[in-house]
């Protein structure tokens, strides 16, 4: 029997508080820990998994090997909203696809999938 529970995704960050606050606004989630060393957000305080942002001294240099996919009700509206918040388009070699690859303010890629039908 497996007893593992997915607690959180950890994102290395030059400025965990700033990046965590950006993701809080982008996702509409709740801050559960606002410490500079471990800024954590969750959908709700008692719902897992969360996302935790931790400090690192080096810059992101290459495509992330792990990213998060989001499925919106309206892809075009969500992409526009995220771009207005400070996301940028990212090219990871995806070519023509049904999803849009964006990057957060520190360059971490994530995908906005096609709208739910």
pLDDT (tens digit, 9 = 90+) per residue, 78-111? 999 999 999 999 987 777 889 999 999 999 999 9
Q: What's the rounded Cα separation, in Å, for the pair 30 and 27?
A: 9
Pick the CATH number of 67-117 from 3.40.50.300, 1.10.1060.10, 3.10.180.10, 3.40.50.880: 3.10.180.10
Domain 7-56 class, CATH top level: alpha beta
Stated as kind and residue range, the H or E segment containing 26 is helix 16-27
Distances (CA, A) of 55 to 37, 47, 76, 78: 6, 24, 32, 28
Q: Where are the domains of the chain?
A: 7-56, 67-117
Q: What is the pTM of this model?
A: 0.90
pLDDT (tens digit, 9 = 90+) per residue, 25-49? 999 999 999 999 999 999 999 999 9
Within 59-111, residue ranges assigned H as helices are: 75-85
SS3 content of the chain, % helix, strand, coil (to 5): 20, 30, 50
């Amino acid at each position: 029997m497996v007893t593992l529970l997915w607690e959180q995704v950890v994102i290395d960050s030059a400025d965990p508080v700033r990046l965590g606050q950006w993701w809080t606004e982008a996702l509409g989630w709740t801050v559960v820990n606002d410490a500079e060393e471990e800024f954590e957000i969750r959908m709700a305080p008692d719902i897992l998994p969360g996302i935790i942002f931790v400090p690192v001294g080096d810059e992101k240099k290459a495509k992330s090997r792990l990213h998060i996919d989001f499925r919106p009700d309206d892809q075009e509206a969500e992409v526009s909203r995220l771009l207005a918040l400070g996301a940028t388009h990212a090219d990871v070699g995806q070519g023509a696809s049904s999803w849009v690859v964006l990057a957060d303010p520190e360059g971490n890629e994530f995908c906005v999938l096609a709208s739910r039908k």
